[in-house]
């Protein structure tokens, strides 16, 4: 939540009262509009930014110095958030903090069987972070675990005479050992796609 206009002007006046060349009024006239926009962008942290500048600077800060204080505080916030994400994800029963697991999909096309391995994002906070980081909309080249399972169900071969997905296995700390059919997958052969099954028609609008 952004501070009020009055609060921002009061913060700038605090900075102007620090020692420096010229009068406090000169400082406000010169840098006031720039500092107002910077502190406004800091949102709820504006007061904390000014407190840090007052405690760490001997003279009136330039806009560059205020911007540096804002950037440092943002980095601290991001670091704290990352720590919370890591801590919460370590207890995930599926990926134990990795944020993604490996899936093996056995499919048949034109009578030829093929096994591919895919990186699938987990539903834990770390997995959601990986998923959201790929594209601003949160839809990247990797599917989530739920989407992969849904896609496999929709593409599942209906009989021995039909092409489609035959089996799939998601490797995590809750599933059993990798089945024998998944061991066919050559460990060093790179996938022939970007790492996922093609999106079906019902998902194309999200790609």
Q: What is the pLDDT of residues 42-78, one digit of tens each?
A: 888 888 888 888 888 888 888 888 888 888 888 777 7
Contact 198, 118 (CB under 8 A): no
> Between the CA of residue 64 and those of 15, 35, 51, 71, 89, what are the distances in Å?
14, 10, 16, 10, 37
Determine contact, residues 21/65, Cβ cutoff 8 Å. Answer: no
Min mean pLDDT across 22-36, 76-90, 182-196 is at: 182-196
| DSSP letter string, 191-202 | PSSSSSPPPPGG
How far apart are the C-alpha atoms of 97 and 65, rounded to whole Å?
Answer: 37
Q: Give me the residue label for tokens 């601290």.
A: 76
pLDDT per residue as tens digits for the range 94-139: 787 878 888 888 888 887 888 888 888 887 888 877 776 654 444 4
- Which are the contacts of 53, defined by CB distance < 8 A and separation ≥ 6? 15, 61, 65, 66, 69
């Amino acid at each position: 939540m952004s501070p009020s206009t009055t609060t921002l002007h009061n913060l700038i006046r605090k900075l102007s009262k620090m020692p420096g060349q010229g009068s406090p009024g000169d400082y406000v006239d010169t840098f006031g509009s720039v500092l107002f926009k910077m502190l406004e962008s800091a949102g709820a942290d504006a007061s904390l930014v000014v407190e840090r500048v007052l405690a760490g600077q001997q003279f009136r800060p330039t806009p560059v110095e205020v911007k540096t204080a804002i950037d440092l505080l943002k980095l601290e916030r991001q670091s704290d958030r990352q720590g919370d994400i890591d801590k919460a994800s370590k207890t995930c029963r599926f990926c134990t903090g990795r944020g993604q697991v490996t899936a093996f999909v056995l499919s048949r096309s034109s009578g030829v069987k093929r096994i591919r391995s895919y990186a699938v994002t987990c539903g834990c906070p770390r997995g959601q972070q990986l998923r959201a980081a790929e594209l601003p909309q949160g839809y990247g080249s990797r599917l989530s675990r739920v989407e992969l399972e849904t896609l496999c169900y929709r593409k599942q071969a209906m009989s021995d005479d039909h092409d489609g997905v035959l089996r799939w296995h998601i490797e995590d700390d809750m599933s059993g050992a990798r089945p024998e059919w998944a061991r066919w997958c050559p460990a060093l052969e790179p996938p022939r796609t970007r790492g996922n099954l093609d999106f079906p028609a019902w998902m194309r609008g999200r790609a």
